[in-house]
Structures are given as C-alpha cells and as structure tokens.
Amino acid sequence: MRAPQLCWGRSSRDFVNPPVAEQQVDVEECFRFPFCARSMTTPGRPAGSVCLSKRLTIIGGEETAPHELPYQVSLQWNYSNDTIPPMHFCGGAVLTESWILTAAHCKTSYTADGYIEVVAGAHDILNRGEVNQRRKIEQIITHERYCGTVCPYDIALIRVAEPFVLGDTVKPIRLPALNASFQGSALHLIAIVVVLQKVVLPLVDYDECRQLWYDVSHLADTNVCAGPEDGSKSSCSADSGGPLVTMNGTRASEEPVLIGLVSWGPYPCASPWRPNIFTGVAYFVDWIEQHLQVGPREEEKEDPQ
C-alpha cells in the first residue's frame, strides 16, 4: 500500500497541479498537520517533511451543533504511541453499523506501525473527554477502476472490525436512487482538526462545471460539482471523503440523502470559478449494494493499513 507522497492543499489527496514553490517549515509544526509530505525515519515523527498548506478551516461555513449530523465519521491515523494523539485526515459517512463510505484516496498510511481508526459520534475530535465510538478497520474495498490518483471512481467502502452501536449520535445515511440527479443546494460536512463544521454549497450543473474545469481531463460524468462562483464557500483541509447531503434550509434534511463524497478541488482552496468536485454516489449504488450484500470474503480482504 502506498504512502502519501506530496499533498497540495487538503489531506493526502493529489490536486490538479502541484504548487510552484514548496514551503519548508519546522518539522514539529509540520507534524501537527495531516496534509504534509511525510518521509519517515523515526516511527511517529516526520523527517524532512514539506508542508504546503496549513489552512484548517472550512471557508464560509459554521460549526455544527453537537451530534447534529450523526452519519459523519472521522478517519484518524493512530500512531500506536500514547504521546501522540490520533490525527484526523479524512471524513466518511455511516451506511450501516459495520460499513462506512469514503473516498478511495483516503486509503493511505503515515507511519509503519500505525493504523486507521474510524471515529463516529464525535464533534470535537481534540476533546479526549468526549464520548464517541472508535473502531479499527477490518477491510477496505476501493473501486476496481480507481487509478490511485486524481481520477474518477474515487470511492471506497470500509468495514469496521466491531459494529458501531447505532443511536442518537451515530446513525446511517440514506443512499440515493441509482443515477439520481440533484439540483439546488446541498450541505457539505467537514470533519476538520478541531470541530465538525458545515457549509451550504450550490450544486453546479455538470456541463457548466465541465466548462469551468476546461483544462483538466479527470472530471467525469460520475462526478458532482458544488460551490459558488466567487469561491466564498468551499471545503479545504483534511475533509476528503466527507459527505455532501440533501438539505432543508440551512440544515440537513430530516432524512438526508448522500449525494457525494469529497474527491478533489482547486489549489488554493476556494478559488473563484473552480467548484469542488465530489464522487457522485448515485452512480455507484449498485457497486455499494453488491459489496454490502456479499460482505467480506477471505480472498478479497486487504490490509487496512
């Protein structure tokens, strides 16, 4: 399994173009941010790291009420070291008590002896006194057509080793109908390094999005585009795999439907005329349901690290 090489603005995902100049920063400062290139020589500590962006907050959004969005999860890297707190690096959405949906590029690793945990029911992920549910991963299934970098089919299923206890703070989200289309605005949930935030993003017609992203080849008709023309509202750091859901006013719908998962976007974040790009979940409903029904087979199991 490959380790992240360079990341150009958000978590470990690749972007359209690398930055012109890299910003060298103190190693200890770089360590606090998940969206850094990490060349490891000492377990649990980055050596020779390069940080290219340190923005930790959603642009134009607001903090959610605690447990307002119980289907959001945080993917965190556990360093197997009590002196280093787990690091949030991606988001995801609860489908069942055992399955999480996220972006395929969130299948990554940071240290040789660490591992991924899925944290549900969290609001402030730095608050160690907060009651939440933390699970190790049993299996990660990435879409067989995902290329491993910026490209379509950026979707993955995670099976946790122990089922979540569903209730008021942890609930599954509904899948859309196969090939369903959506208009208007949607709510994007961002599990950042401090507290869970949200932002309302206008959905952008695919043909218009195609014109705005005229200079890239990896935008596909299985993507969903969202974001205002002026870039005043946008996702940013460490929110890969986070859900885009249907909404009512400024809140999620009473029974929200999962529209998309954060896949890629512009560098820097919140660039005008560059909407954020999500994996359109409606185009993968059959793929999702197929794996949920079959469950893990021994020959299909992958090393979750």
Please list the active-site residues: 105, 154, 240
For residues 162 and 98, give the distance between their C-alpha atoms in angstroms, rounded to a whole number: 7
Give the strand pairing for 62-63 and 247-248. unpaired
Contact 138, 304 (CB under 8 A): yes
For residues 100 and 243, give the distance between their C-alpha atoms in angstroms, rounded to a whole number: 11
Contact 277, 263 (CB under 8 A): yes
Task: Give Cα separations from 168 to 202, 253, 263 (angstroms).
Answer: 28, 16, 28
For residues 224 and 203, give the distance between their C-alpha atoms in angstroms, rounded to a whole number: 8
For residues 12 and 14, give the distance between their C-alpha atoms in angstroms, rounded to a whole number: 7
Kindly state the tokens that stand for 80: 């197997």
Residue with tokens 């218009």: 208
Whether residue 34 is preceded by a cis peptide bond, meaning omega within 30 degrees of 0, is no
Half-sphere exposure of 208 (CA within 13 A, CB side): 14
Q: How does DSSP classify residue 274?
A: -
DSSP three-state, residue 108 = coil
Residue with tokens 């850094």: 36
219 CB-near residues (< 8 Å, 6+ apart) = 209, 210, 213, 277
